[in-house]
Structure 1
Amino acid sequence: MTASTTRCTAVAKSRKSRIAAVAAIAVAGSMLLTACGDQTESGTKEGGATAGSAAPLFSKLPAKIQKAGVIKVGTDATYAPMEFKEGANIVGVDPDVAAAMGKQLGVKFEFTSGTFDTLLGALPTGRTDIVMSSMTDTKARQEGLDDKGKKTGTGVDFVDYFSASTGILVKKGNPQGIKSLDDLCGKKLAVQRGTTYEQAAKDQSAKCEKDGKAKIAIEAFPTDAEAQTRVKAGGAVADLNDSPVAAYIAKTAGGGNDFEAIANKSDAGLFGIAVDKKNTELRDALKAALDAIIKDGTYKAALDKWGAGDGAVTEAKINGGS
């Protein structure tokens, strides 16, 4: 939610991106595994889509994944409408886009939910093959750098699949009259820990101080749902999220009576599917699959289903973030 820790650019350029969930969705500490898509055994068809070795792009996959028939996906399923839990399933934009890609590749995408800020660390261990969790593609993540610029890992490659701007989530009625990030100076802000929005909040606070204004008091929580609760209770004036997530929360939480969302459309950033840098074969197969579903229309249909069509990209790019 905003960790996987929305799921941004320096305020803009430093984004989450990943971020968070509907207020009613609690983060589960246990791991949940669910398969997305309708792929069957090699050479068969289901739902009109070819599966297994007969699928158009099956041969592009690494042999290990061809044999397994599965791509293991790490996600933080607390970030509706991008990825969240509905009963025993993980649903949303990302699972639906992955399912469409799976039909091109002839394998299943199996999503496991975990804490956002641990997702990238699972890639080198092999516990997951990719991370697909509304994660903003940033140079720091590509290079394996922490928020202080210190090397913490080998970094990852991103296959960019979605564009989102910053969304500011405020209490219904916007009692503080928040219109932009500059209006947060001297106020208390809630964010999800480990997301690019936590860093964006720190950057904005430094800007406030440079402009002669009071710094922002930042409270970081393990989940975005907790940050939302803080805003709803009046303990913080706002929570930062990606624009489609903030809009979805405002529309659905409390029947639309709990929050309002303000979008800053000038700072759009890219979400990427993260892949271990050594796994270039898988990275390139994912790019080919994404380009294929963009071309055949199933990509846009998956976004439109969740009201996220404004974030559609026109082509797959590798490491297009800044």
Structure 2
Amino acid sequence: MTVRTARRSAAFRSRASAVGVVAVTGALLLAGCGDQTDDSGGGSDSGGGKSSLNAELPQKIRDAGVIKVGTDAAYKPMEYKEGGDIVGLDPDLADAMGKELGVRFEFSNGTFDGLITSMQTGRFDMIMSSMTDTKDRQEGLDDKGKKAGKGVDFVDYLTAGSSILVKKGNPEKIDSVGQMCGKKVATQRGTTSHEILKKQTAQCAKDGKKKIGIEAYDNDDEARVRLKAGGVVADISDFPVAAHAAKSGSDFEVVGDQMESAPYGIAVRKDQKKLRNALKSALEKIKEDGAYDKALEKWGVQDGAIDTVKINGGS
């Protein structure tokens, strides 16, 4: 995954095998990964009486009563494990959307840079994992602009940018990536923050300076452990995650401005337009009734609120 200028001065980032499944609202896990291509045909309407939006879902999902979600649950406050549950803003928003759709959302934990591939093979119906909506992801391109797989569609639900997290007191006096040439910096593999560092290290070389020693980890928790130990001078991650890490203890602080602010999106396969549109309707509904704002306020990310729900609004 790649991902995240700020359209909002205080806005917010992005991020295979699944290793665990947790139901957002609690319940039995759904077995099987059958194909869920759009199906508007007849059949039982297991959730029709629960919600006016249930009929907008593909029939197979209506019959199952479950939407399977891929995520990387190591990204506080967006999604993370607490005990045996996956909690955070994304699960809370999914729970509110599920009530509108008359279905449950079941989250499966996996590695971020493998989520799209896993969804394309049918393991998940959608991805909700602080994933930045980018044209490259929409078109299935790699970081060099070459075709790397099938593209996805996004339903955008939050705005976020990348931030610089440093040790408390900022001993290296860093406040921008332009100061990182020749230094070691941590990030999460496959994220927009990772791409920012790749671009900057190329610029360092072009300017005749030493390249950045990029240390890319499977999750941001590992990157912060490395920073705390002094092995790197900074960790680049999405603003909500960096801000949460800084506020949760006395080890870190956020410095500089947010970079490349962009929308987070719920990702679905290109052949799942009916599911995509139903998710958009549910998100619009929870924005109207206040559940969306309530969830953002709970997790302290109000400044990332979107004004309008868009499909593929990333650039």
> Could you say whether these structures have the same fold, taking a TM-score greater than 0.5 normalized by the shorter chain as the test?
yes
Of 187, 194, 197, which aligns to 1:191?
A: 187
CA distance in 2, matches of 1:66, 1:216: 49
How far has the Cα of 1:260 moved from its partner?
0.8
Tell me, yes or no, if structure 1 residue 316 matches structure 2 residue 309. Answer: yes
Aligned length, in residue pairs: 291
Q: How far apart in 2 are the matches of 1:37 and 1:96?
A: 9
Q: 1:306 aligns with which of 289, 299, 311?
A: 299
Contact 2:159 2:262 (C-alpha < 8 Å) held by counterparts: yes
Cα offsets for 1:141-196 (capped at 9, x unmatched): 00011112221212100000010111111111110111122222221111111222
The whole-number CA distance in structure 1 between the counterparts of 2:108 and 2:270 is 21
Unaligned runs of 5+ in 2: 6-11, 29-45
Does 1:119 pair with 2:107?
no
Alignment deviations for residues 203-232 of structure 1 (CA, whole Å, 9 cap, x no partner):
011223334443211111222211111111
Partner of 1:62: 58
| Aligned: 1:76 with 2:72 | yes
Please give the alpha-carbon distance, in whole angstroms, between the structure 2 residues aligned to 1:59 and 1:37: 21
Does the aligned pair in 2 maintain the 1:76–1:83 contact within 8 Å? yes
**Residue of structure 2 in register with 1:172 after alignment:** 168
The corresponding residue for 1:235 is 231
Output the CA distance in 2 between the equivalents of 1:65 and 1:247: 36
Structure 2-normalised TM-score?
A: 0.87
The residue identity in structure 1 corresponding to 2:14 is S
Identity of aligned residues (%): 58
State the distance in 2 between where 1:32 and 1:91 align. 13
Q: Kindly report the root-mean-square deviation, in angstroms, between the aligned alpha carbons of the 2 structures.
A: 2.2
Counterparts of 1:40-59 in structure 2, within 5 Å, are 52-54=47-49, 55-59=51-55
**Pair 1:295-2:288 in alignment:** yes
Cα pair distance change 1:91/1:152, threshold 3 Å = same
Farther-moved stretch of structure 1 (68-77 vs 164-173): 164-173
Q: Give me the whole-angstrom Cα distance separating, in 1, the residues matched to 2:67 and 2:236.
A: 31
Match of 1:86 in 2: 82
TM-score, normalising length from structure 1? 0.85
Alignment of 1:1-322 (within 5 A): 3=1, 8=4, 17-18=14-15, 31-37=19-25, 52-54=47-49, 55-252=51-248, 256-262=249-255, 264-265=257-258, 267-322=260-315
Deviations 1:68-98 (A, max 9, x none): 0000000000000000000000000000001
CA distance in 2, matches of 1:245, 1:194: 16
- Give the superposition deviation at 1:269: 0.8
Post-superposition CA distance 1:27-80 (Å, at most 9, x none): xx872222123899xxxxxxxxxx932312001000000000000000000000
> Helix, strand or coil: the match of 1:53?
coil
2-side partners of 1:17 and 1:70: how far apart? 25
CA contact (8 A) 1:294 1:300 kept: yes
**C-alpha contact 1:144 1:156 (8 A) present in aligned 2:** yes
| Distance in 2 (alpha carbons) for counterparts of 1:143 and 1:220 | 24
Change (3 A) 1:192 1:265: closer
The residue matched to 1:260 in structure 2 has which SS? Answer: strand
